[in-house]
Amino acid sequence: MDPFSALGVAASIIACIQLSQSLLKKLGPSAHRSQDLKLILRTMMQFRKAYETLKEYAELDESEEIRLATFRQVEEPLKECKDIIDNVVERLEKNSFLKQWVTGSAWDRKLQKCMSRLNEVRLLLDMAMQSDQLWFSVVDQAKEEKRRALLQWLSKTDPSTNHQAARKACMRGTGEWLLRNLEYRRWKENPRSFLWLQGLPGAGKTVLCSTVVEDVQDFCSSDSGHLVAFYYFSFSDSQKQNTTNFLRSILAQMIKQSNKAFHTAAPLYNDTDDPELQLHALKAMLRAIIAAHGYVFIVADALDECPRATATQDERQLVSETLEEIISWKLDSLHLMITSRKIADLESMIHGIPGVVTVFIQNDHVDADTRLYVASELQKDKKLRSWPPGIRTEIETTLERGANGMFRWVSCQLEMLRSCITPAQVRSCLKTLPETLYSTYERMLAEIDKKHIDMVITALKWLVIAERPLRLDELAEAVALGLEPGADFDIDNRLPDLTDILRVLGSLVAVEVSLPRRFYWLRSEYDSDSDSEFELDSVCHVSDAATTGNSDNPYYSPIVRLAHFSVREYLMSTLPKPWSTDHFNEADLHDFAAIACLNYIKLIMSHNSMFDDLYYYARSYWRVHVQKCKNHDRANSAKFITFLSEFRLTGGRPLERLLSSPITPTSSNSRLCSGQFCRSWAKCRDGYCSSGSTSGLGRSRPSTFRDHQ
């Protein structure tokens, strides 16, 4: 037993508090100096808080010697405090005190002396604590360093960007049906509950998930012992598709919310590179934190966007098994909710978990929300509200009838209606609306001007296969490489106005918050031995200006992604499309991206150019694309193998480690990703392009790097 507990101060304080509360409850407000009894209660509660803070400080350091030194500083004041509190308890328990209290005689003088002496001893205790203030400061610093290290280890992805995008898409009044749903209310209130929200593609599950997050955050806001953590799995970001990052993220959120969560998780922190040990440590942390808190809400969206079985593992299966294990802990404080489509493999996994309750997003629920959404769009959109009332009524009626529970379908039809310029065109469009999402996407592609089709196919290939969301300037540069990524680069393929690609792609893509381009390529030092780049999630935390970046500013570029998971599924499907689908399968797309990345690196090096828009992505992810197509049929990859054989890997690692049969690399481009070019470039970067002009293939840059760091 630690020396603080051995003194028994905490037990005495609790006894005094409980007795005071009991007296006040039984006797009620008295006309005779009731404030004195309340003063005892208030003083005891304040003293208890100070005592627990002192004990917490002492327990932060693992050194027994330091803990004992801290105890000796305050031992005598604490002993006297305990004696005084015990006297107060003894006096409160006496019948004579109750008689005096009820009959209204003079307030007990012994209690007055006790409270006066307690205040004096508290001053001595404060002085003892202040004399060791420097040590407490050191402990605070050590505690903060531990917290920072733990959060840095955990914070690999940032789901708040997805949450903010979903809240922006949410319209006031929608989703209320779910908050009133009986099963949802039971999930929120009942211990050890697991809810699965199912819906069709495009039914608005992500927006509903964000509504749930806001609701439970409001529910937990009044109690620091309650925790809320959320996660959005994302088809457009490979870092948001795995179990480890899911656990890391929800743990990081909990630790930020609660000191108790930090103290619970810190002893279990294990900074290891072994994936199995990492997963074990993360689960142990989560179990301990859930057990230590009253209510813990975990909300996970789009479980179906986890990839299915690959050559290495089935991530969707692993997430499902992890959820099953979390439920098997049988912790009453846990409230777990997931959302997804109803798909066979996921249904067989989740339905095997005991206690799961399923809520289906019914068409009538969504229809009410789509009516609100359409009415709002017709009111706030300048083009749509210009139509006569009769036309607007026809639009509302037709879209409500054809929605079939799909918000996404309604959004796409409104976008097509915006292109109409006469009432006749509107009525014609309403009569020929596509019935499904896939047929909607087919029409969108069919209506693209033929002279833009190569650019569109190139852009869609990149958006489907990119390992992380691409900035607009990165996507535009990738499009300039063309459909033949190994071909010579033509500078005339670059877009003078980058937003032209967005206008051509239309509703197939979505644009998110602008991010500062300079954090990707302006650096005071370049680590030539590192293969990492500035990750998107870390950039989001670098500057608040990132959330308000001006798209007209050359140093800001918005994030572009496919508008919905259903767009990716349509593009990867075998359904008829306005162009050949021969190369829209995952293995071929990784071939395409790997060759494009390598060719772009060679391009930048051969022109002795500054790092341009796509360089950091190419340098960081070309190897990932190679690894993901290494089991592809080599007979169909001859061009890729020939191209790749010209290069050697970073650090001189042989290609045989990535590809299934040996390839002998040549030395013609041995500088690729070796760091040699990076070091030589770093020496002259401050004098490079000093006039602000374009050299070689690089875009116009500022006069020096330091001017904008």
Assigned domain for 496 exists? yes
Count of structural domains within the chain: 4
Tell me: do 160 and 61 sit in the same domain. no
Tell me: do 213 and 346 sit in the same domain. yes
Assigned domain for 439 exists? no
Tell me: do 354 and 369 sit in the same domain. no
* pLDDT tens-digit series, residues 481-502: 988 877 888 888 889 998 899 9
Mean per-residue pLDDT, 230-236 = 93
On the question of pLDDT at 188 being above 90, the answer is yes
Label the pairing between strands 470-471 and 556-562: antiparallel
What is the domain range of residue 647? Answer: 452-708
Tell me: do 587 and 703 sit in the same domain. yes
On the question of pLDDT at 660 being above 90, the answer is no
User: 116 or 543: which carries more pLDDT confidence?
Assistant: 116
On the question of pLDDT at 534 being above 60, the answer is no
Assigned domain for 440 exists? no
How many angstroms separate the CA atoms of 139 and 149, rounded? Answer: 15
Last residue of a domain, which of 361, 385, 414?
361
Tell me: do 280 and 325 sit in the same domain. yes
Assigned domain for 426 exists? yes
Tell me: do 93 and 170 sit in the same domain. no
Are 560 and 588 spatial neighbours (Cβ–Cβ below 8 Å)?
A: no
Tell me: do 483 and 335 sit in the same domain. no
| Average pLDDT of the chain to the nearest whole number | 75
Tell me: do 90 and 217 sit in the same domain. no
* pLDDT tens-digit series, residues 618-657: 888 888 888 887 555 554 455 555 655 665 444 444 344 4
CB burial string 132-163: b at 16+ within 10 A, e below: beebbeebeeebeeebeebeebbbbbbbebbb
Last residue of a domain, which of 343, 361, 379?
361
Four-point Cα dihedral 583, 589, 592, 593, nearest 10: 160
* pLDDT tens-digit series, residues 691-703: 333 334 444 433 3
Tell me: do 269 and 306 sit in the same domain. yes
Tell me: do 110 and 156 sit in the same domain. no
Assigned domain for 259 exists? yes
Backbone angles phi, psi at 229, to 5 degrees: -135, 140
Four-point Cα dihedral 150, 156, 160, 166, nearest 10: -150
Last residue of a domain, which of 338, 361, 384?
361
